[in-house]
Amino acid sequence: MKKSIAIIGSGNLGKSIAQGLLKNEDFEPSQLILTRRNPANLSEFTSRGVTISSDNRLAAEKADILILGVKPFTIPVILDEIKDILESKKIILISLATGVSLNEIAQQTNSSQVIFRAMPNIAADIQESITCLCSRNETVDQKTEVENLFNHIGQSISIDESLMEAATVLGACGIAYVLRFIRAMIQGGIQIGFDSDTASKIVNQTVKGAAELMIKNEMHPEEAIDKVTTPKGCTIVGLNEMEHHGFSSSMVRGVLASYEKIEK
C-alpha cells in the first residue's frame, strides 16, 4: 500500500512540496493530506483529490510520514498538539523549520521518535529542489524512504546536522538570491533596449543554460567564464565593472548575513 504523507502548515514551502509530489505519475492525490489554519487557502488542491483540513490531529492520525511546514516558533505548539499520536503509532516526522535542531524536537517527543530535518526550496514545485537532510533514530530503510520522497521533488543529499543552517542559506535562501540576480539582469536588459518579456526570456534561459552547463559538465564557473571573456572584449569589461561595485563581495556578505541571522 502507498504511504500517506501529511503536511501540517501548508504555506509557501508546504504547497510547493505538494505541487511537486503531485507531478509524479506514481503519486496518488489520495496519499496527500494538507493542513493550515485557513484551509480555504488550499482550495487549488481540493478538486485534485487531496485531503484538505485544519485538523492537525486528523492529519497525524492518517499519516505514515508527517511533514511540519509551520514557522519555527509554531513547532512546539504542533508537537504538543500531536504528542500522544506520535507515541501511539510509528510515524516518520520531518521538520522543515529553520534553526530548530533534532534535539529540540526530540525533547518534545518520545526519545525513540524517528526525526528528520529537511531543507528544500520552493523549486520543489517543479521538481527541481535541492533538499539537504539530517536525521536521528532512523533505520537504513527509513533514510532511503525519505531520500526517495525528496528525490521526487528534485535532488536530496544527506549532510551533518551542523551544516543544516548553512544548507538553509545556500539552498533555501539561495533561490531568492538567484532570483534577485535575474531581476537585476532583466532591468539591465530593458535599459539596453529589450521589452520586459523578451529580456526575461533571454535572461531566464541564459541562467538555466549556465546552471545546466555546470551540472552536466561538472565544471567550475571560472573555467566556463574563461571561454566567454574574449581578451579586450566586452564581457571582461562588464565583469570587472561589476566587481568594482562589489558584486562577489556583496554576494558573500549577503550569504554571511543570512547565516548570522539564523545562528542568532
Between residues 133 and 199, which has the closer beta carbon with respect to ligand NAI? Answer: 133
**Per the structure block, which three cell numbers stand in for 65?**
510520514
Site for ligand NAI in 173-232 (CB under 6 A): none
**According to the binding rule CB under 6 A, does residue 122 interact with ligand NAI?**
yes
Site for ligand NAI in 24-63 (CB under 6 A): 35-37, 56
**According to the binding rule CB under 6 A, does residue 46 interact with ligand A1CAB?**
no
Minimum CB distance to ligand A1CAB, residue 215 (Å): 22
**According to the binding rule CB under 6 A, does residue 74 interact with ligand A1CAB?**
no
Q: List the one residue from 98, 127, 137, 142 that touches ligand A1CAB (CB under 6 A).
A: 98
74 binds, among ligand NAI, ligand A1CAB, none (CB under 5 to 8 A by kind): ligand NAI
**Which position's Cβ is nearest ligand NAI?**
11
Q: List the one residue from 46, 55, 61, 98 that touches ligand NAI (CB under 6 A).
A: 98
- Among 49-57, 131-139, 167-175, 194-202, which window interacts with ligand A1CAB (CB under 6 A)? 167-175
CA distance 94 to 134: 10
Chain residues that interact with ligand A1CAB, rule: CB under 6 A: 98, 168, 172-173
